[in-house]
Structure 1
Amino acid sequence: MILWLSTFAFSIASALLPFLPMEAYILGAGATEAGTATAISLGIAAGAGATVGKIVWYEVARRGSTSKWAQKQLSKPKIKNGYERWVERMQGRPWYAAAVIFVAASVGIPPLLAMAAVAGLLKMPMWVFIPTVFVGRSIRFSLLFLGVDFAIH
Structure 2
Amino acid sequence: MILWLTTFAVSVASALLPFLPMEAYILGAGAASAGVPTAISLGVAAGLGATVGKIVWYEAARRGVDSKWAQKKLSSPKVKAGYEKWVARMQGRPWYSAALMFIAASVGIPPLLVMAAVGGLLKMPMWVFIPTVFLGRTVRFTALFLGVDFAIH
* TM-score normalized with structure 1 length: 0.91
1:98 is aligned to 98
- What is the alpha-carbon distance in structure 2 between the residues aligned to residue 11 and residue 79 of structure 1? 33
CA deviation after TM superposition for structure 1 residue 75, in Å? 5.4
1:150 is matched with 150
Label 1:68 to 1:3 Cα distance change in 2 as closer, same or farther (>3 A): same
Q: Is 1:10–2:23 an aligned residue pair?
A: no
Q: Distance in 2 between matches of 1:83 and 1:28?
A: 41
- The 3 A distance-change label for structure 1 pair 98 and 115 is same
Match of 2:24 in 1: 24
- Structure 1: stretches of 5+ with no match in the other structure: none
Provide structure 2 residue ranges, at least 5 long, that are not aligned to the other structure.
none
Pairs within 5 Å for 1:80-119: 83-119=83-119
The equivalent residue for 1:38 is 38
CA–CA distance in structure 1, aligned partners of residues 75 and 34 of structure 2: 51
Amino acid at match of 2:6: S
Change over 3 Å in CA distance of 1:27–1:134 after alignment to 2: same
**When the two structures are aligned, how many residues end up with a matched partner?**
153
Question: 1:130 maps to what in 2?
Answer: 130
The answer (yes or no) to whether the contact 1:86–1:118 under 8 Å persists in 2 is no
Report how far residue 10 of structure 1 moved: 0.4
Distance in 1 (alpha carbons) for counterparts of 2:128 and 2:44: 18
Between the aligned partners of 1:19 and 1:77, the Cα distance in structure 2 is 33
CA distance in 2: counterparts of 1:94 and 1:55, whole angstroms: 17
CA contact (8 A) 1:39 1:149 kept: yes
Give the root-mean-square deviation of aligned CA atoms.
1.8
In 2 relative to 1, CA 78–18 (structure 1 residues): closer, same or farther, beyond 3 Å?
farther
Read off the aligned partner of 2:8 and give its amino acid letter. F
Amino acid at match of 1:67: S
SS in structure 1 of the partner of residue 110 of structure 2: coil
CA distance in 1: counterparts of 2:15 and 2:81, whole angstroms: 25
Question: 1:150 & 1:82 partners in 2: Cα distance?
Answer: 45
Q: How many angstroms apart in 2 are the aligned matches of 1:113 and 1:73?
A: 20
Change (3 A) 1:138 1:77: farther
